[in-house]
Chain A
């Protein structure tokens, strides 16, 4: 008699915990062959709200950590991704129906992208910031800072994004010190939830990365209009009416990245999109 395997119950990842959706709803996730794969939590607007609260609570501490420390914490995640590569390959194959080789390649790319971004933690400010030679007796310096809490939608394409898209979305946001509420690929959330388990056992503080699963239409406007969200990453929101979300975000003047804006998937510009430039003047005199 063959052994019956134990199925995992997937939940959300909010504030360093794995709660069920407060709505009680789940979403059936199928394989590419339309076979039942798992039930994941269908996040509601209240879950999104809770995730924003968690992100806000964590953001100041995360941004306040030294850049070196943030870099170390993020690099540690890459190490742990590597340790789970077999599981990610399996998750990706199950969700996307791609070959072992393709899935493996996606994991490679995701880990490498994560490492690439992690290294920016203590460097991006040196390329983005400036000492400004003003015409007066002033010290004048511009430094980039994280925007704060960012809501993001991971890419929803059929292939090769369930893990890589998530990584490319989350890494540039958190590396500068933002906290993120990221909504996974709506139909392929399993690799993202495995990623959540990696985060959970890493050193990244609870609440810095919050992960929501399920279909995105109904709760997305609540994130777009949330007054405590400073920026919105809609690059991956092609499954929903992202233009309407962008319009919604205008009420609180969020910084918004949309599919209509050309920003590289792995680029310094992407880090920069979720930062603010602060310029400091101070008087300068001997006497």
Chain B
């Protein structure tokens, strides 16, 4: 990879062709991904445990909690999602602590594609399209969460969400194709979804590629899938849909952070990382911030490059923030239910 030059000007396909040495084929992809360094799971798990023992206190904690809040993709992905539910969530995205207007906004609200319009309406002038400091709207697409649909459906799903105004698309890879070795198919699908994120003004909605690491099963697969997604043009790589257990784990995150770090070292390009699902406490969130800073680097401590896909996490972040600002412990009645 060290021979690479920054290639963001190229399309994913031409860039991948360059990385693979002139040939973009199933075999070339497989050889390239198999040639990545292996992951020793015991070692990676120990590295992850190291972040469990980081102790984030006082000023670091205050900064960390605010930063973590600003990185949340506040998420609801239920069949029962209604306009009302989504409105509530959008309001919460803006006013994270009803007791304290200084509490930061989250980064985005993440919903199914058909609720994008509801979120935009609820955000009003605070939508990122009207206020650069505002909140973005992310939509899951591509037959989320399983991804088991035809390409035609996945593209339509994506185009619908973009047309409805989604700023970010969270797509799923075809894990079946990945596990059966059809890496080119996974690559092509990401490339095509990326094309479908193009907006009328020529810009793209940001593409987060969900690997669903709980189904990939091994950390070697996580490393390879991360690299594949980045190669195919992912702006972010994301751990999970939240519908499969285990969702985000620290060992998986260690490997994915190493992937974005290595890609940056090789090309100078920044790819973001989003753990999603299973992160419920402020303590966990702060550990993730340590992992991000220590593995990828402090440049990633920004909503542009790091997000938490979460719902209940926000309330704990706010509770802990209240403790830091008021000096006493808070309780669940002092944060809003969704």
Contact = CB atoms under 8 A, between A and B. Distances in A.
20 contacts: A137-B42, A137-B45, A138-B42, A283-B40, A283-B41, A283-B42, A283-B43, A284-B42, A285-B40, A285-B41, A285-B42, A285-B45, A286-B41, A286-B217, A286-B218, A287-B41, A287-B217, A287-B218, A287-B219, A287-B220
B113 to A, nearest CB: 33
A137 B218 CA distance: 16
A286 B43 CA distance: 13
Given A283-B43, A287-B41, 10 more contacts: A138-B42, A283-B40, A283-B42, A284-B42, A285-B40, A285-B45, A286-B41, A287-B218, A287-B219, A287-B220
Interface in B274-320: none
Residue in A137, A285, A287 whose Cβ sees the most chain B Cβ within 10 Å = A287
Q: How large is the interface on A (under 10, 10 to 19, 20 to 34, 35 or more residues)?
A: under 10
A283 to B, nearest CB: 4
A284 B43 CA distance: 10
Contacts of A285: 40-42, 45
Nearest to B219: A287
Contacts of B219: 287
Contacts of A137: 42, 45
A137 B42 CA distance: 7
A52 B220 CA distance: 49
Contacts of A283: 40-43
Interface of A: 137-138, 283-287
A284 to B, nearest CB: 7
B45 to A, nearest CB: 8
A158 B14 CA distance: 90
Interface residues of B, number: 9
A136 to B, nearest CB: 8
Interface in B197-218: 217-218
B321 to A, nearest CB: 36
Nearest to A136: B42
A203 B11 CA distance: 70
Contacts of A284: 42
A275 B316 CA distance: 59
Contacts of B43: 283
A287 B40 CA distance: 8
B93 to A, nearest CB: 35
Contacts of B218: 286-287
B248 to A, nearest CB: 15
Interface string B7-50: 00000000000000000000000000000000011110100000
A270 B43 CA distance: 40
Contacts of B220: 287
A283 B217 CA distance: 18
B175 to A, nearest CB: 15
Interface in B212-249: 217-220
Contacts of B45: 137, 285
A31 B7 CA distance: 93
A138 B43 CA distance: 11
Contacts of B217: 286-287
A286 B220 CA distance: 11
Nearest to A282: B42
A286 B41 CA distance: 8
Contacts of A286: 41, 217-218
A287 B246 CA distance: 14
Nearest to A284: B42
In order of increasing CB-CB distance, the 6 nearest A-B pairs are A283-B42, A285-B41, A287-B218, A137-B42, A287-B41, A285-B42
Nearest to A287: B218
B273 to A, nearest CB: 20
Contacts of A138: 42
Nearest to A285: B41
Contacts of B42: 137-138, 283-285
A283 B39 CA distance: 12
B190 to A, nearest CB: 23
A287 to B, nearest CB: 4
